[in-house]
Amino acid sequence: MASQDLNNEPTENLLNYIEWKEEPDYAETAKEAFRVFSFRYHLDLQKKLIPICTNWGYDKQVASEIAYETFARIWKYPNFDFEKSNQKDYNKAITFYLYAIAKRLLADYK
């Protein structure tokens, strides 16, 4: 499936496709879904991380590293559970999920 086709897919479907990364017939679809997912949420996460990192005494490079590691976690563990979220909107819930991952990574950053 081409990334143009995936651009219109709901986020929930993208995460489902990413879960298929170990299936040989779907590995490329999983990679494309991950690219679309990352592109969809990267700017928002970066905008959130830059001022937080600055307040913690880090620079924009650290914010970029944390964002990268956040998406690496999504690739490795694409197991978001909407039922555990307090949000009613799936996309908002994913945003907060990404923030939570980034917060843990930043707290552990040395």
pLDDT at res. 42: 97
- Tell me whether residue 31 is exposed, middle or buried, using C-beta atoms within 10 angstroms of its C-beta: 0 to 12, 13 to 18, 19 or more: middle
Question: Mind listing the pLDDT tens digit for each residue in 14-70?
Answer: 999 999 999 999 999 999 999 999 999 999 999 999 999 999 999 999 999 999 999
Nearest-angstrom CA–CA distance, 32 and 23: 14
In the DSSP assignment, the letter for residue 98 is H
What does the pLDDT average to over 1-11? Answer: 81
Residue 9, pLDDT > 70, answer yes
Nearest-angstrom CA–CA distance, 28 and 50: 32
